[in-house]
């Protein structure tokens, strides 16, 4: 789970300036082949020291959320599914048993790869727990190689994008924030052959706000209980960090 926590630190807008400052310091103090490793090893403690200074000086930039992140990960829980922005996502273990696809994910390209979108499959939902019940939901994914410069990774035919699901990349960078994921569907591409899937982006079905049920209505109570029984989430695992 250290990889997931490191991803969060590198995607927190409030600490980006300090993160960049620490990386530049590591470049000055260590050889080029070591600075990235030292940055990864030393930043967490340096960040905690930095936040403690903000707290002791009553800095307006200090916040409890910042301190919780700096204190570090306490616990992680693994789930097979979750709802994000009204969409139900399933890990591949459960999705393979379902008649619908809920594990296929897409993340628009960003950073140094603004022209490359990312496509993959959700394997596990990870809930990271910090101090004071602060929590972050993440997706652990298997990413397909979609680098257009590499032959045999992606194809575009009549405006349809196909990806080779037998070729993966970013095997050491598996995590994303759950709210980054866009739900898509993969369709067989018989023209390209085995292992190739056409990416189908889709409009989500409407999400409805369900009105509150009058607790004095016995019939409504029975309907609510029935609905809950039909939507029970199972296959929950936990792991201690």
Q: Is the alpha carbon torsion for 36, 24, 13, 201 positive or negative?
A: negative
Q: What mean pLDDT do residues 166-170 have?
A: 93
Token code pair at residue 88: 């139900």
In whole numbers, what is the pLDDT of the chain averaged over residues? Answer: 84
User: At residue 173, what are phi and psi to the nearest 5 degrees?
Assistant: -135, 70
Q: What's 171's DSSP letter?
A: T
Measure the CA–CA gap between 129 and 146, rounded to whole angstroms: 32
Judge contact between 91 and 234, C-beta under 8 A.
no
Residues 6+ apart with CB under 8 A from 193: none
Measure the CA–CA gap between 26 and 32, rounded to whole angstroms: 9
Residues of the chain with CATH 2.30.30: 75-201
Q: What mean pLDDT do residues 97-119 have?
A: 81
pLDDT bucket at 241, cuts 50 / 70 / 90 = very low
Measure the CA–CA gap between 1 and 34, rounded to whole angstroms: 23
* pLDDT for the residue 230: 38
* pLDDT for the residue 201: 86
Residue 114 has pLDDT above 80, yes or no: no
Q: What mean pLDDT do residues 186-213 have?
A: 77
- Cite the DSSP H helix spans in 14-110: 16-29, 35-56, 64-71, 92-95
In this predicted model, what pLDDT tens digit does every residue of 33-75 receive, in sequence order?
999 999 999 999 999 999 999 999 999 999 999 999 999 999 9
To the question of pTM greater than 0.85 for the whole model, the response is no
Give me the count of residues in the chain.
Answer: 241
Residue 217 has pLDDT above 80, yes or no: no
Second-level CATH architecture of 75-201? Roll (2.30)
Measure the CA–CA gap between 69 and 5, rounded to whole angstroms: 9
Token code pair at residue 125: 């939902």
Measure the CA–CA gap between 176 and 136, rounded to whole angstroms: 11
Residue 128 has pLDDT above 80, yes or no: yes
Q: Which of 158, 146, 92, 140 is nearest to 119 (CA)?
A: 146
Q: How many Cβ atoms from other residues are within 10 Å of residue 184's Cβ?
A: 15
Measure the CA–CA gap between 160 and 187, rounded to whole angstroms: 11
pLDDT bucket at 31, cuts 50 / 70 / 90 = very high
């Amino acid at each position: 789970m250290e990889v997931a926590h490191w991803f969060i630190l590198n995607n927190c807008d409030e600490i980006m300036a300090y993160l960049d400052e620490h990386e530049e310091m590591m470049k000055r103090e260590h050889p080029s082949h070591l600075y990235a490793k030292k940055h990864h090893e030393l930043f967490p403690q340096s960040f905690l020291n930095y936040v403690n200074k903000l707290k002791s000086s009553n800095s307006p930039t200090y916040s409890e959320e910042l301190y919780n992140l700096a204190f570090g990960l306490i616990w992680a829980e693994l789930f097979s599914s979750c709802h994000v922005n009204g969409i139900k996502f399933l890990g591949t273990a459960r999705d393979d048993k379902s008649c619908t696809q809920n594990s296929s994910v897409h993340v628009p390209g960003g950073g140094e790869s603004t022209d490359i979108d990312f496509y993959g499959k959700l394997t596990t939902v990870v809930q990271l727990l910090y101090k004071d019940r602060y929590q972050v939901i993440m997706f652990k994914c298997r990413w397909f190689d979609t680098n257009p410069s590499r032959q045999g990774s992606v194809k575009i035919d009549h405006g349809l994008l196909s990806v080779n699901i037998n070729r993966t990349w970013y095997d050491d960078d598996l995590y994303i924030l759950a709210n980054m994921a866009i739900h898509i569907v993969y369709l067989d591409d018989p023209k390209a052959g085995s292992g190739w899937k056409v990416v189908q982006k889709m409009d989500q079905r409407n999400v409805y706000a369900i009105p509150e049920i009058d607790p004095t209505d016995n019939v409504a109570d029975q309907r609510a209980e029935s609905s809950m029984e039909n939507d029970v989430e199972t296959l929950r695992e936990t792991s201690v960090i």
